[in-house]
Amino acid sequence: MEAQEDNNLLEKQKLEEAAESLKNIDFTTENYKDILEIINRISAISASNRHDEEIERTAISEQAATPEASPNDNTNYDESTIEESESNSPAPLQENADLKEPIVFGKTVLPAFAIMTNKGFKTYANAIVESYDEEMQTYILNNGKEKVILPKKTFETILSPESAYANPHKLEKATIAEGSPSVVASKTILPEFAMITQHGIKSFKNFTLQSHNEAENSYTISDGDTTLTVPSDTFQEIIKPERFVNQFDENTPAHKKLLQTQYESYSKDRDNTANNFRHNLSVHCRKECSSPLESLKVAQEIISRMSKDEQQKTRNLLNLMKKEDETINQLIVRTYFEAIKEVPLNEEYIRQNFPDKKITRPPYDTLTAKGSLVDRDSNLRIGDTIHDIAFNVDKILGHGKEKLYETLTVVSASKENNSVLLMDKNKSYYEVPRDTLLENYNKQQQKEHRQESRHRKSYCVDIER
């Protein structure tokens, strides 16, 4: 007996030393799994002992409180008292496949666990489930020293540790929605957008989703008057979250409302082939050309970089595209004006080059005030419109020159720079030599005067006295 008692004392002493050592151990990423396994095993033994003691105490209490039933006992128990007792007993919060018994508030003891908290990584043992907050989806635990608030998901990983890992079999067929606005058919007003149509850039506003064609993977949208069918990728671009945020007003130019894919098509070069010639020319006209004269130079440069075969294809294609009474140069000029229709010139290019840079250098010499004479020997003034100015330009295909006629307004003039800046009705700018313009303008004026003089003589009324 004494030997047995010594062994028990020794084992108890070892357990106490182990418990003390356990308190002083620092949790690390290398050892926390082993330590938790030990804590869980100890907690399981402790919980089992407490459960057996609870059952034993309950049985003794029931025996003391319940009189022996005799065969002749005709006592009628009040059913309403039984129902009230049951309703007042702790109700199970949830059933869990890993628990043999339901969770009972104030009684269920959780196994030891470790979690990351707002106070760092902490370990808890003998924590009792006190309550559950349905609104916050959190559990309140109490280990006798402090209360702990656990999110529902974290709580479930304590009951079922394997639930901490995603189960791919449960999600492999699931569709997960992104955090973007939903589109309700016939109700959600789609963000305003613009697209390139056969009639140029067009804006679309107040459209709603009407239907989805799953076979063609397309969407039908409408504003009540106009109906469009767009492919899925275009529709997805229309309903991007940022387009709901970025609102346009009546002053926003149409090209700024373009969908990104449309904008790239609108502003980026394609392969330098005959079929892409007009597109590439239009891109450069919008970006860097300030007049039809510059568009002709750009057209020549684009064609010069083509292979001989593509150059011939381009010539054939342009001959097919031009109107009956139109030259290829005139087709290029028409392409220029169509290209800048929505963007009347690249704003940054104009700001850097026209007219500020030219009208302000040098300030004492440049004339910009409307009505100012360009030269004292001429009656040409700032603001005057000159009709049928002929520019002799190179043919972009073939040899020789061709006249390009324009009606232009004088914007500014500088004697020192020998330049005059002219502008057409589309706000395209032309810089020409001052001396050349004055010489030809004066000649034109003289011709007009002679014609007017002859006209007056031919229609005058002669009276002899």
> For residue 26, is pLDDT > 50?
yes
> For residue 300, is pLDDT > 80?
yes
**99/395: higher pLDDT:** 395
Q: Find all residues with CB under 8 Å of 103, minimum gap 6, and list them.
A: 92, 93, 94, 96, 129
Question: What stretches of 164-276 show up as alpha helix (H) in DSSP?
Answer: 168-171, 232-238, 241-245, 260-267
**384/67: higher pLDDT:** 384
Select the highest-mean-pLDDT range: 163-177, 339-353, 432-446.
432-446
Condensed to tens digits (0 to 9), the pLDDT of residues 81-94 reads 222 323 333 333 33
Q: Give yes or no for a contact between 201 and 258, defined as CB atoms under 8 angstroms apart.
A: yes
Q: In the chain, pLDDT over 90 holds for what percent of residues?
A: 17
User: Taking the model in full, what pTM does it have?
Assistant: 0.47
Whose tokens are 């049951």? That residue is 86
Beta-sheet pairing, 193-197 with 120-124: unpaired
Q: Which two tokens stand for residue 413?
A: 């003039």
Q: Give yes or no for a contact between 389 and 403, defined as CB atoms under 8 angstroms apart.
A: no
Residue 302: per-residue pLDDT = 95
Please state, rounded to an integer, the average pLDDT across all residues of the chain. 75
Nearest CA among 194, 203, 195, 200 for reference residue 341? 200
Residue 431: per-residue pLDDT = 87
Q: Stretch 278-302: mean pLDDT, rounded?
A: 89
Q: How far apart are CA 256 and CA 197, in angstroms?
A: 15
Q: How far apart are CA 82 and CA 92, in angstroms?
A: 18
**Please, which pLDDT band fits residue 30 given cuts at 50, 70 and 90?**
low
Q: How far apart are CA 192 and CA 263, in angstroms?
A: 15
Q: Burial level of 191, CB count in 10 A (0-12/13-18/19+)?
A: buried
Say how far residue 367 (Cα) sits from the centre of its chain.
Answer: 48
Residue 72: per-residue pLDDT = 43
Q: Which two tokens stand for residue 30?
A: 């290398």
Q: Give yes or no for a contact between 342 and 408, defined as CB atoms under 8 angstroms apart.
A: no
List the domain boundaries for the chain. 25-61+86-166, 193-263, 269-347, 358-453
Beta-sheet pairing, 429-433 with 193-197: unpaired
Q: Find all residues with CB under 8 Å of 100, minimum gap 6, and list them.
A: none
> For residue 444, is pLDDT > 60?
yes
Q: Find all residues with CB under 8 Å of 69, minimum gap 6, and list them.
A: none
Nearest CA among 275, 315, 281 for reference residue 295? 281
> For residue 151, is pLDDT > 60?
yes
**Please, which pLDDT band fits residue 328 given cuts at 50, 70 and 90?**
very high
Whose tokens are 């010489």? That residue is 439
Q: Which two tokens stand for residue 239?
A: 């309903």
Preceding peptide of 355 cis, ω within 30°: yes
Residue 157: per-residue pLDDT = 80
Q: Find all residues with CB under 8 Å of 125, minimum gap 6, and list them.
A: 39, 43, 112, 143
Q: In the chain, pLDDT over 70 holds for what percent of residues?
A: 65
Instruction: Count CA within 13 A, CB hemisphere, residue 320.
Output: 8
Q: Write the DSSP symbol of residue 401.
A: E
Condensed to tens digits (0 to 9), the pLDDT of residues 390-411 reads 888 888 887 888 888 888 999 8
Left, alpha or beta for 182 (phi > 0: left; psi -120 to 50: alpha)? beta
Q: Burial level of 158, CB count in 10 A (0-12/13-18/19+)?
A: buried
Q: How far apart are CA 79 and CA 132, in angstroms?
A: 30
Q: Stretch 311-328: mean pLDDT, rounded?
A: 92
Query: In 3-state terms, what secondary structure has residue 95?
Result: coil
Q: Give yes or no for a contact between 430 and 413, defined as CB atoms under 8 angstroms apart.
A: no
Residue 99: per-residue pLDDT = 46
Query: In 3-state terms, what secondary structure has residue 414?
Result: strand
